[in-house]
Structure 1
């Protein structure tokens, strides 16, 4: 602020009043606020609450969060454990399938070897091969 003051005694009161006014104007502090009425502020709060509740509902549906008997919610490590067990289950199924194929191949080989041995025994005995 610019204050117009005079050094003469004749304008002393006017200068004093100008200095007092300038001092009061300097001490004014503005508090900046967004122009927002109560209704729009409440709508914003409710939208935030809805988003939070939707996330919480998704966590309940996917099993990431459980509700205890006392009503206290707790995040579940069971979800992570379940994921790990499903992965391990898939790996074990692949191993079982590979081992079953190996067993089938060994059975076929054993059947062939036994058939060959039986044919050799019959050939030595003078019988007909199978």
Structure 2
């Protein structure tokens, strides 16, 4: 069965290094918390708020050892007034036998305010 694993993080500034560092940290934490291997992943969609333009977060994913062939796509979030700034959101489609309620969704930095109901 394919399940969606959600995650999000924020950066303090729009810099190439920080965007890649925080994206990698998020992906690695999502994989570790859910026992995900690259071969389990059908695809990954990454969105950023429109104030992030310094780097493609997908580069961080492809740079993780063993993840070079994971299909990854980047896009921008809707530009909604009052939305969380400098935010990177990630949706990982994973083949798993885990029930929906056992999926660990990961929110880091200021993104913890997006889904406090999913944090454990």
Relative to the length of structure 2, the TM-score reads 0.26
Q: Which has the higher helix share?
A: 1
Higher Rg of the two aligned structures? 1
Q: Which has the higher strand share?
A: 2
Q: Normalising by the residue count of structure 1, what TM-score does the alignment of the two structures yield?
A: 0.24
